[in-house]
Amino acid sequence: MTHSTPAAGGTGRGSQGEPGPPPTPAAYDQWPTQSGGPTQSIPPRSLPPHGDPPQSGPTHPGSAGAGPGIVAEHVSRSFGSVQAVHDLSFTAPRGAVTALVGPNGCGKSTLMLMLASLLAPQSGRVLIDGVDPSADSPAVRASVGWMPDQFGAWDSLRVAEVLEVMGRAYFLPGAELRQRVDELLQLLDLASLAQQPAHVLSRGQKQRLGLARALIHGPSVLILDEPASGLDPASRRRLLRVVRSLASAGTTVLVSSHILTELEEMADHVVFMDSGRVVDASSVRDLAARPRPWRISSLDLQALAAALGRLGVHHRGVLGPERTTSGHAEVIVELPDEATAARLLADLAAARAQVIAFGPATGRLEAAYLASDAAHREGAL
């Protein structure tokens, strides 16, 4: 039978819909050039369509201007002989969530302290809603909600009292403060704990209280350091919805976390740090055009292996069903982007590989991080 010749990376079907000549190996081995350029502005992702908490985020005084909510320009900070942050520059746009990713000790927390005006840079400058903390620290602190990775003091106060004390520190009027406390207790599922001393709370409950404390004054910029640490799965989903709601309402959100799968769901942009520097930045959407591993499952080991061979796809071997947790034949293949993955899936279907599952073996953030030099050093993440 005469078959039509498919274009490189096509479905590989003949004129009668039967398997035709496979595309050349180059169809799956061409790896795109990485740009690693500055974060690009894209529309913020919409909220998940279901579940509570309420979708309207807390209102904030509003910061004028259309520029980035956070700007760091050639910022450096050292502690003795340790250079924590070195000549670092990045921006975080308004109305979006920017993820800060890097190994332990790379300078993330030091950077966040400088952005929150709690630590002064030794050189360079930061701007929060266009204001330099060194020039007007009170204005910056009024705009910023800061959640450190540890709850801190005040264990002798009750949960509601913690929020009341913080609200008074921001000079919220009495009636507004009481309403705000009630809103945040409901928003973060703390209402039943309102009269409990803070010291009896679990790690996850303290994290939720820490977020409520950061939101008490309706900040226009929210800085979160490991907010999901200690949270149970339901609380993590709630955190995701709250953060996405805040971003949709116009808040600038910067969040650091080692839980990359959940960070990927939350973030619009990502900034990768290593050794006190920004080494890469991208929109989460654009990470789809970067290489990552894909897992393919099939009902038939021989059919899958044969199809991969005909298509010229490189891999390290197909595992039999007795060696996989799914009970099906599986293989991991490295692909340069999602468009190539779509072409491969079509070609495998045309080759009758009996594929029953085809998807990324890692998330976009995880794949991008694992491809970096930082991920290969001892103690990374």
- Identify the band that residue 371 occupies on the pLDDT scale cut at 50, 70 and 90: confident
Contacts with 87 (C-beta within 8 Å, 6 or more apart), sequence order: 74, 75, 76, 124, 277
Range with lowest mean pLDDT among 11-20, 32-41, 240-249, 282-291? 32-41
d(CA 126, CA 349): 53
Give me the architecture of the 288-375 domain, per CATH.
Answer: 2-Layer Sandwich (3.30)
Same CATH fold, 288-375 and 70-282?
Answer: no
Contacts with 240 (C-beta within 8 Å, 6 or more apart), sequence order: 48, 262, 265, 266
pLDDT digit string (tens) for 206-224? 999 999 999 999 999 999 9
Contacts with 80 (C-beta within 8 Å, 6 or more apart), sequence order: none
Structural domain spans, the chain = 70-282, 288-375
Residue 15 one-letter amino acid: S
Range with lowest mean pLDDT among 113-117, 199-203, 348-352? 199-203
What average pLDDT does the chain have?
A: 84
Mean pLDDT calculated for residue range 248-270: 94
pLDDT digit string (tens) for 51-110? 333 333 334 444 445 689 999 999 999 999 999 999 999 999 999 999 999 999 999 999
Q: What values do phi and psi take at 161, rounded to 5?
A: -65, -35
**Which residue from 296, 294, 293, 314 is spatially nearest to 354, judged by alpha carbons?**
296
Mean pLDDT calculated for residue range 165-170: 95
What 3 state SS string does the chain have? CCCCCCCCCCCCECCCCCECCCCCCHHHHCCCCCCCCCCCCCCCCCCCCCCCCCCCCCCCCCCCCCCCCEEEEEEEEEECCEEEEEEEEEEECCCCEEEEECCCCCCHHHHHHHHCCCCCCCEEEEEECCECCCCCHHHHHHHEEEECCCCCCCCCCEHHHHHHHHHHHCCCCHHHHHHHHHHHHHHCCCHHHCCCEHHHCCHHHHHHHHHHHHHCCCCCEEEEECCCCCCCHHHHHHHHHHHHHHHHCCCEEEEECCCHHHHHHHCCEEEEEECCEEEEEEECHHHHHCCEEEEEEECCHHHHHHHHHHHCCCCCCCECHHHCCCCCEEEEEEECCHHHHHHHHHHHHHCCCCEEEEEECCCHHHHHHHCCCHHHCCCCC
- Identify the band that residue 376 occupies on the pLDDT scale cut at 50, 70 and 90: confident
- β-bridge partners, 100: 256, 271
Cα dihedral sign for 197, 198, 200, 201? positive
Lookup result for tokens 């966040």: 112
* pLDDT at residue 215, as a whole number: 97
CATH superfamily, domain 70-282, is P-loop containing nucleotide triphosphate hydrolases (3.40.50.300)
- How far the first Cα of the chain sits from its last, in Å, is 55
pTM above 0.95, yes or no: no
pLDDT digit string (tens) for 328-359? 999 999 999 999 999 999 999 999 999 999 99
C-alpha distances out from residue 272 to 31, 239, 339, Å: 21, 22, 24
* Residue 47 CB neighbour total at 10 angstroms: 17
pLDDT digit string (tens) for 6-27? 333 443 344 344 444 444 444 5
C-alpha distances out from residue 366 to 158, 182, 231, Å: 39, 37, 20
Contacts with 330 (C-beta within 8 Å, 6 or more apart), sequence order: 295, 296, 297, 298, 318, 319, 324
| CA contacts within 13 A on the Cβ side of 309 | 8
* pLDDT at residue 30, as a whole number: 53
- Identify the band that residue 378 occupies on the pLDDT scale cut at 50, 70 and 90: low
